[in-house]
Structure 1
Amino acid sequence: MATPYWNRAASDGTWLTDTRTNHPLGPPPGEDLAAMRAGLGRSFGEVPKLWPYYTAEIDDELARRGLASIEQKAEHAALALYGLHQQSKSVSMHRPGVRLGTALARLRTSDKFSQKAVDDRVEAAATTTTVDGLLIRLRGLVDLLRTINQPLDYDHLMRLIHHWHYDDRRRAARRQWALDYQVWKQKPPEDEPPLGS
């Protein structure tokens, strides 16, 4: 698979330089993010403006039958969520190593929203058994993360969405999510603070 769009930034959130032109990539253009947001609530391939951003390999057998692979569906969903998260942000909202549970633990301790409200939203997302249900709830959670400038690892999020298609992988992803989120019970997350704090 080629490099996903959100990997325009280094691990510290600074924008990379285009190796061909030697110019900084900078924040994604608004029209790119708008095309990605158009994919929210839609399926893979339904938004022609989003097609140029897909990098997942095509499964020839599925494609001949007009079907998308799980990898393509997961990438589509992650791109759409990234478009929402990155909107109007000058720093990268993709941060390698910041898994969903960790980002949500920071949301919980941000004092921007009540801890019970965050817990309820996280529980609703984590207990869903369908990918569509997960994506609806992730959209709301990503919007909250955006509010506090909390980045997220979109490579990891794409894998989580991919794993949600399979019962055994969904259970493992949910366990990891719980471990990362429950860190607030022991101590505050040790990683960098959210941007803007």
Structure 2
Amino acid sequence: MTTSSSISSVTAAAGRSRFFWEEAADDWRAACGAGRRPEFSEYVTRSLRALREGVGREAGTVPAMRSVHRVSLGDDGLDRLPDRYVAEHCTLTLFGLHQHTASEPVHRPGVGLGTACLLLRRGEALTEAAVERRLIAAATAQDLHELVQHLQRLVPLLQQAGVGLDYTRLFRELAVWDGTGRNRVLRAWGLQYTDPGTPVPTEGEADGEAEGRGQAPYWVTFEPGSPDAGAELAALRAGTGREPGTVAVMWPFHRTRMASEWRNKGSLTRDLAAEHTALTLFARHQQTHDRRMHVPGSSPGTAVGMLARKAATDSEGKAATAALERRFGHLLTSADAEELAMHLRSFAPLLNRAGVGLDYDLLSTALRTWDDPRRPHAAGRFRQRWDRDFHTTVTASS
């Protein structure tokens, strides 16, 4: 039988303190390695019962749980429990719920919450919409207490579907939820959940060629007449002015591909930032139209040039055209992608009202490379092309 002291000795030999959920997994593997029946020791089984007693209880108030805490309370004289201690209490209770009745360890290193929900979605236990609702509800929790309540409803579903979770990672995420680290946690969950995986090669296509081919962007596949079109655009508009990757209702519409390491860290890359901005612009541009406003080949220069031509026929005539040209000039001289996005947002309502389309593939590429130090000439090339498109369109015969 493996006891608490024998587990601790293994932990000490490893050279670092391990959390209870890590000890439990080691305990189960030790039984398998010794040729015994694969099951948890009496110590782990008894401790798991103690964890379930702590569900819904305040941290530090469950005597039976004290032996499984690994975060020290310290002796700083403060009445308030450390955030890490509270986060560990919450993680322990969730682990207790998840491990209950499971025959194998549910602590799976490397499986973040977003990945776990993606695996749950790919199973047959719940519909895609049901999984998304639960993940988004957790992601929009206002504080740690509310988040844990949502996770308490989600974890049993993972258990039923045989999906594990990295509880060490979850502990770290819960510890920063009420602080400045929440956005990175949200981005990691969203990126994990929307991971498109490796594309399947089509007929006649080599494996290596499939790697560079991802799912088409949302603005390419958007169907204006679909029943969900209005709700989808509203979800995307909610991301305006928000940090990319942190708006849970936008997650189902992201197509950004990213290395697993960056995805799990919640990295904010140029690709993700550009896609986020393009999605929010498209949503503002597309609303109220029954045809797709993504028009391949229509650069910002072409689109604003069409606005100028339309303005020339109005009562203000040349004055309106000159005003649009000045505004477009400000766009062309944008110092970075953030300023470029700001000017593009000011044009979106005008393009919407005039029904003028825009190439969002081109726009996304421009936003991604405008101030990329690895592409020092990218902005200059866009400026020249868009300026030429503007004047060509304005002077074209009607």
In structure 1, what is the equivalent of residue 135 of structure 2?
122
1:103-158 CA distance string (max 9 Å, x none): 11001111111111111111110011210110000111111101111111000010
Matched, 1:160 2:198: no
Is 1:108 aligned to 2:121, yes or no? yes
Aligned to 2:60, the other structure's residue is in SS state: coil
Task: Choose the corresponding residue for 1:15, options 18, 24, 28.
Answer: 28
Task: With the length of structure 2 as denominator, give the TM-score of the two structures.
Answer: 0.42
Q: Deviations over 1:57-89 (max 9, x none)?
A: 22321xx23321011001101100000000111
Q: Deviations over 1:28-65 (max 9, x none)?
A: 5433212101111112111111111001022321xx23
In the alignment, which residue of structure 1 is the partner of 2:62?
A: 47
What is the aligned counterpart of 2:106 among 76, 79, 93?
93
Q: Which residue of 2 aligns with 1:172?
A: 184
What are structure 1's unaligned runs of at least 5 residues?
A: 192-197
Matched ranges for 1:54-93 at <5 A: 54-61=69-76, 64-93=77-106
* Greater RCO (Cα-Cα under 8 Å, separation 6 or more): 1
For 1:37 and 1:187, locate their aligned partners in 2 and report how far apart those are by CA, in whole Å: 41
Q: How far apart, in 2, do the equivalents of 1:66 and 1:26 lie?
A: 40
Q: Distance in 2 between matches of 1:152 and 1:55?
A: 19
Higher helix share: 2
Q: What is the RMSD computed on CA atoms of the aligned residues? A: 2.5
Match of 1:194 in 2: none
Q: Answer yes or no: is the 8 Å Cα contact 1:2–1:56 preserved in 2.
A: no
Structure 1 pair 83–23 and aligned structure 2 pair: CA distance change class (3 A): farther
Which structure's CA Rg is the greater one? 2
What is the TM-score with the length of structure 1 in the denominator? 0.82
Contact 1:70 1:165 in 2 (8 A): no
Q: Which runs of 5+ in 2 are unaligned?
A: 1-15, 201-259, 261-398
Moved over 4 A (4+): 22-25, 184-188
Q: How many residues matched?
A: 180
The percentage of counterpart residues that share the same residue type is 32
